[in-house]
Structure 1
Amino acid sequence: MKKHPEIQLLIFDLGNVIYDIDYQRTFDKLYAKLPTEKHAMVKEFMVSPIHMDLETGTIDEAGFRNGVREYFSADWEDDWIDEVWNSLLVDIPQERLDLLLKLKEKYPLYMLSNTNSIHFKIVEQVFKQKLPAGAWPQLFDHLFLSHEMGLRKPGEAIYREVVKTIGAKPESCLFFDDLKANLLGAEKVGIKTFHIDHPKALINFFGNV
């Protein structure tokens, strides 16, 4: 990697770095179900304690669904809540998967994501469907998932735990994320970063691997 010759391993965020996501898809499903006077609640939900608690594993899936019903004062079925929640997951472009497979030949790869168990079930299914048979379990050396760790980006604690678990010097790690706040959190512990600011950013960064 000419841009960072000292880099020994790569850490990738999931959403909009590897897996395209679109919150508007979830918003639109909720808008269609809710009266106009409740529409302002939709985007506020994304930063609500219920959402954050699911991402840190503080509540389980049942607790989350009950929290959604209570938040919106709506008697929605579990399956519909999951459908709405997962609708923001768009797809993984094949060119990104091909890039990861090539990078795997040269570097240890890690995922670091603020995610939750409802989303990650779908994520795993898509990886398995789109990767060569048996490739998914070996693609990443470790999955650092917020709901399993009890920590979230951009808090420094999650980055310190990542570096500790990997057993690497922070400056030997390169972290890709689409949110600048998450990059700043990583930089505070010495991790090198790169901002993914458009859909082709990852592909363009590596060029012809």
Structure 2
Amino acid sequence: MPSNPSIKNVIFDLGGVILDLDVNQTYQQFAARSGKTVDQLKAKAANVTFFEDFERGLISDTAFRDQLRLFLEIDLSDEQIDNGWNAMLLDLPVARLDLLKKIRLNFRIFLLSNTNNIHLQTFNSIVRTVIGDQLFGNYFERDYYSHLLGMRKPDREIFQYVLHQNELKAEETLFLDDSVLNLQGAATLGIQTFHIQHPDQLFSLFNEA
């Protein structure tokens, strides 16, 4: 278990922490279709806002696809866009879900994910193939998705919202994420943080290796 005895609550990121994630898979698919390199697409992505807008729920699926067509400078079908966009979403190992059940015996646990409607629909399909009709949200006390809140990590307001909604003390809360920027956002509120560099670190962190 986490070595700090003051920790009573754990907030988990989803992609790269519980769900295997490889963003390069999406870049590679779109690079192949657009004739651009992965590096060119990454550099271009750093100068647009519609990806973050989609994660905040500020634009619709249709508007996102239209923006992505302009971004790639190629007229792809909705299906081609969705397939490429979802390519980054990989496996959901049952062992990690079993670990969540054990962690919940000792901590209040929550999920906080930067995501969007297209990804969430696909993730729910992945969940159904792994655990059937069980609800993924049942593994947590509460699960939060950025596009449904109108906020995203690393902004302070989304962490403040989760703390306030659940009457959590920042100093008693541990946040696990694969993004250093997101961890820095949480740390500004006094939340304890841990950088997950590979999802299987969860097992050693919670002494289940």
Shift of 1:46: 4.1
Residues 56, 151 of structure 1: 8 Å contact kept:
yes
Shift of 1:70: 1.6
Q: TM-score of the superposition, structure 2-length normalised?
A: 0.91
Shift of 1:41: 4.0
Residues 12, 175 of structure 1: 8 Å contact kept:
yes
Shift of 1:205: 0.5
SS of aligned partner of 2:175: strand
Between the aligned partners of 1:192 and 1:128, the Cα distance in structure 2 is 32
Partner of 2:166: 166
Q: Does 1:44 align with 2:43?
A: yes
Residues 2, 206 of structure 2: 8 Å contact kept:
no
Partner of 1:3: 3
Residues 45, 51 of structure 1: 8 Å contact kept:
no
Q: For residues 58-85 of structure 1, what are the alpha-carbon distances to aligned partners after superposition, in whole Å with 9 as ceiling and x for unaligned?
A: 1010110011112222111111100000
Partner of 1:140: 140
Shift of 1:129: 2.8
Shift of 1:94: 2.4
Which segments of 5 or more consecutive residues in structure 1 lack a partner in the other structure? none
Q: Does 1:189 align with 2:189?
A: yes
Q: Does 1:101 align with 2:101?
A: yes
Residues 97, 131 of structure 1: 8 Å contact kept:
no
Shift of 1:131: 2.9
User: Which segment is superposed worse, 59-68 or 102-111?
Assistant: 102-111
Between the aligned partners of 2:2 and 2:82, the Cα distance in structure 1 is 43
Shift of 1:135: 5.0
Residues 2, 205 of structure 2: 8 Å contact kept:
no
| C-alpha RMSD of the superposition | 1.9
- Look up the equivalent residue of 1:77 and give its one-letter code: S
Q: TM-score of the superposition, structure 1-length normalised?
A: 0.91
Partner of 2:155: 155
SS of aligned partner of 2:176: strand
Residues 34, 73 of structure 2: 8 Å contact kept:
no
Residues 177, 195 of structure 2: 8 Å contact kept:
yes
SS of aligned partner of 1:90: coil
Shift of 1:100: 0.7
Partner of 1:72: 72
Query: What count of residue pairs does the alignment treat as equivalent?
Result: 208
SS of aligned partner of 2:97: helix
Distance 1:141 1:46, change over 3 A: farther
Between the aligned partners of 1:126 and 1:75, the Cα distance in structure 2 is 28
Give percent identity, aligned residues only: 35
